[in-house]
Amino acid sequence: MFSSILAVLGGFAATALFVIVTTAIAARAVPPRAYLTINLACSALAAFLGGFLTARLAPDKPFFHGIALAALMCAMGLLSAKQAGDRQPRWYQVVLCTVMPAIALIGAFISGQVGGLY
């Protein structure tokens, strides 16, 4: 059980760290009009990598761990959307809460395929 929790939290931490670093870089390097697009692209890559890593770290049933990561991402996305309120476009918040968890599931699935886990 502890290994499962660590797998999900490890994948989430990797996702969050990647997003934090790329967001800081994007905020300085891209024009404001392109920021949301670049941020979504970086978030998608982070979600994929987080799902991939979660499945790799999982002691068994890697895709179920990917589902747990996706649920955690969705919950955190909803919390973030509530805190951001009207400071972010609603479509952006919806994408973060729905598309990014789905991309994490793709990462978990591909990780299992590459690793021969299913």
Say whether pLDDT at 115 is over 90.
no
7 part of a folded domain: yes
42 part of a folded domain: yes
What distance in Å separates the CA atoms of residue 9 and residue 18, rounded to the nearest whole number? Answer: 14
Contact 23, 45 (CB under 8 A): no
- The reported pTM is 0.91
Share of the chain above pLDDT 90, in %: 81
What domain range includes position 78?
2-113
State phi, psi for 16 to the nearest 5 degrees.
-65, -45
Mean pLDDT of the 12-40 span = 93
Q: How far are the Cα atoms of 1, 50, 87 from residue 39, in angstroms, in the given order? A: 34, 16, 15
89 part of a folded domain: yes
| pLDDT (tens digit per residue) in 33-53 | 899 999 999 999 999 999 999
118 part of a folded domain: no
**Number of structural domains found in the chain:** 1
Say whether pLDDT at 117 is over 80.
no
Enter the tokens of residue 92: 């952006």
Query: DSSP characters for 36-93?
Result: HHHHHHHHHHHHHHHHHHHHHH-SS-HHHHHHHHHHHHHHHHHHHHHHHGGGS-HHHH
84 part of a folded domain: yes
50 part of a folded domain: yes
